[in-house]
Amino acid sequence: TLEYNHVLEIHKRHLSPVVTAYFQKPLLLHQGHMEWLFDVEGNRYLDFFSGIVTVSVGHCHPKVNAVAKKQLGRLWHTSSIFFHPPMHEYAEKLSALLPEPLKVIFLTNSGSEANDLAMLMARAHSNNTDIISFRGAYHGCSPYTLGLTNVGVFKMELPSGMGCQATMCPDVFRGPWGGSHCRDSPVQTIRKCSCAPDCCQAKDQYIEQFKDTLNTSVAKSVAGFFAEPIQGVNGVVQYPKGFLKEAFELVRERGGVCIADEVQTGFGRLGSHFWGFQTHDVLPDIVTMAKGIGNGFPMAAVVTTPEIAKSLAKRLNHFNTFGGNPLACAIGSAVLEVIKEDRLQENSQEVGTYMLLKFAKLRDEFEIVGDVRGKGLLIGIEMVKDKMSCHPLPREEVNQIHEDCKHMGLLIGRGGNFSQILLPCTSQRKLKLASKISLETCLLSPPLP
């Protein structure tokens, strides 16, 4: 293998100058097995970020590996101008997991590409232009989706993503409204809630803000509305119960379609349901998915109704060279089988709830843990200066906690506008005994003062 300093030199000279690597001394990884990662020096890490919430069934899962090797020896690639069984077998399996009328599948290669296509579908079907997304939303970094993405570090001075409008994120922790009964989560914000039974004041206030966007910032008719069922990159932000249902109705009244971005919330990660939109009791017009769909293999999809698919076909002879690749589809099928056979959705519910409740105890004990939130194995821990102000903990202090977790053998993610939110979003597979011991050690080790 290449010597570490030589790797750093190659990276500096030949790869993107954008600084994305975690840690003062970036990890040089050599091998992965289930929930574990190993660097070139032989150090072992419990992976609680899963390749940015992507490795859904574990690194190098033996069943997925076996299927990939078998398909690799049979047929690597042929474009969709030719038919091949893996694509049709996968389409049948995936469509069976989605409710009517979401039955038409467009296979792509990444979440950004899927959201690009969904934007095009919404505009082709509605004959409108304006698309709404939340502040704090992350829907990709392609020139088109940059208009939907509203996390500050991803915005740029050059024009991109025209026709996109941001609306207030109904964040019940950091936003102006929210209480102790708002979230569909085992852990609620420590804000007190004064709502009457069957009434959510926060939801009503945020809906008024959404109406204000519709009345002032977009045309009378809109193309669509994008929403992650739970925001991922912005730090696992959850909306008040009932908000998305009312927002979808308002968008449809304006002629728009509703798009659920399931790139981080899909495939059983939330535990109680297979898809994030199901937790809100809504039925989108378009669903986009990626990341966990292929357990890290480049694969994504857009699923929509026959009506919307036909609207796109009338406007565009859509084609994708690599979408529906035989190897990708074989892997995608294996991932679906493993999720079912290993009961990984149920595991997400069980282990995720356990972790959330443990982290909530840390929140109650330490002033710098401002909020713990999430559902299943999509979890956010917001670090603050103090619970009174809720100002983000300075980046250098969060950096130190992040580094200390790594030194203890635990890899976790970061999110939020100020990188102040820790994201322990592990793969959905069951944690073995060694993993549980490691988890307990990290949970019981207090944050730095």
Fold for domain 67-341? Answer: Aspartate Aminotransferase; domain 2 (3.40.640)
How do the pLDDT tens digits run along the chain, 449 residues long? 578 889 999 999 999 888 888 898 999 999 999 999 999 999 999 999 998 999 999 999 999 999 999 999 999 999 888 999 999 999 999 999 999 999 999 999 999 999 999 999 999 999 999 999 999 999 999 989 999 999 988 888 887 788 999 999 999 999 999 999 999 999 999 998 877 777 889 999 999 999 999 999 999 999 999 999 999 999 999 999 999 999 999 999 999 999 999 999 999 999 999 999 999 999 999 999 999 999 999 999 999 999 999 999 999 888 899 999 999 999 999 999 999 999 999 999 999 999 999 999 999 999 999 999 999 999 999 999 999 999 999 999 999 999 999 999 999 999 999 999 999 987 776 554 344 444 444 544 443 33
CA 207/CA 169 separation, integer angstroms: 10
Helix axes 62-72, 326-341, angle to 10 degrees: 160
Q: Please state which CATH number belongs to domain 4-49+343-444.
A: 3.90.1150.10
Q: What is the pTM of this model?
A: 0.94
CA 178/CA 175 separation, integer angstroms: 7
Q: What are the residue ranges spanned by the domains of the chain?
A: 4-49+343-444, 67-341
CA quadruple 147, 149, 151, 152: dihedral, nearest 10? -20
H or E segment and range at residue 118: helix 111-126
